[in-house]
Structure 1
Amino acid sequence: MIFVTLGTQDKPFTRLLEALEKEIEKGNIKDEVIVQAGSTKYKSKKMQLFDLISQETFSDYMQKADIIITHGGVGSIVTALNFEKKVIAAPRLAQFGEHVNDHQLQIIKCFEQKNYILPLYDFEKLNEVIEKSKTFIPSKFISNRDNFLKFIERLIEE
């Protein structure tokens, strides 16, 4: 199963869902595709879409999925990595009205450099990236949370 999560952003990310639908229609994706679409309004007979789902249902889908495809939000990426899943991350881009700026490009590049995820920059290559994910061995995710909290504590104490 492929679980797609678009987060709760107030802007649509139909571009990713259209790319997925295209690969399903070509027969390249045969897995069940479940989508947490947030505010992205999209109709599909080939994917199961939900606007928002409970945290429990979200966790169940994360656990069951073979691949997680997500937008470039830190929370979505880290959640999938904490489930030790193979992650494909696609940035929302300002030029398509998917976000106010392109910070998700930088986020994805940082996770890619550490070999945590596979990036999807070119949606025409979605099938190639999915195929690559089948043999991809991500690095074990190491959170920087503790260092970040210590840094904030030092700032507060000063």
Structure 2
Amino acid sequence: MRVLTMVGTDHHPFHRLVRWVDEWSRRFPADDCMIQYGTSMPPRHARGLAYVEPDELNAWMDKAQVLVCHGGPTTIVEARRLGRRPIVVPRRSRWGEHVDDHQYLFTDRLAQTGQVLTATTQHEFELLLDAALADPVMVRRGDTDDDRKTAATVQRFGSLVAGLFS
């Protein structure tokens, strides 16, 4: 699998990301693309599953050349743990993709330190995905002194957000 896209398990649909990846897959059908689409509309051109068991998803993440995901802290931490720098499209509240813009703020901070690549438009997304497939090194995690601190911060952030909804 060359491209694995994950929207996570939040009950808010993330049609925008699924649509962007599916459109890209339509134009490049020879590239093997899988979308975990959750409550979003299923893809028409790429392969897709609504949900995947964690062990299977981790195996796919380990094998995929490029990881694309929503801005969920757990998904990003798992990608980073596997040595990846994911292409992240954060969910936005104004489009009903989440309750607030914490993913946007969180991924903006990670992008500033080079830990993720972010796209806010379909054009930016397509440019990043094409570049990542042409040069896989750009989506490999660079080992930095901040990695351990970032993982702890992401875990702490995830716990705080989870506590808001319990």
* Both structures adopt the same fold (TM-score exceeding 0.5): yes
**What is the DSSP-based 3-state SS (H/G/I as helix, E as strand, rest coil) of the residue aligned with 1:34?**
strand
TM-score between the two structures when normalised by the length of structure 1:
0.83
Looking at structure 1, the residues matched to 148 and 48 of structure 2 have their Cα atoms a distance apart, in angstroms, of: 30
Looking at structure 1, the residues matched to 141 and 59 of structure 2 have their Cα atoms a distance apart, in angstroms, of: 21
Looking at structure 2, the residues matched to 123 and 69 of structure 1 have their Cα atoms a distance apart, in angstroms, of: 13
Pairwise CA RMSD of aligned residues? 2.1
Looking at structure 1, the residues matched to 73 and 30 of structure 2 have their Cα atoms a distance apart, in angstroms, of: 28
Q: How many residues align?
A: 146
**What is the DSSP-based 3-state SS (H/G/I as helix, E as strand, rest coil) of the residue aligned with 1:86?**
coil
Structure 1, unpaired ranges of 5+: 150-158
Residue matched to 2:143: 140
Residue matched to 1:101: 100
TM-score between the two structures when normalised by the length of structure 2:
0.79
Structure 2, unpaired ranges of 5+: 157-166
Identity within the alignment, %: 21
Looking at structure 2, the residues matched to 47 and 143 of structure 1 have their Cα atoms a distance apart, in angstroms, of: 35
Poorly superposed stretches of 4+, deviation over 4 Å = none
AA aligned to 2:16 is R
| Larger-gyration structure (1/2) | 1
Q: Point out the more displaced range, 102-111 or 130-139.
A: 130-139
Residue matched to 2:62: 63
Residue 132 of structure 1 and its aligned partner are, at CA, apart by 3.0
Residue matched to 1:128: 127
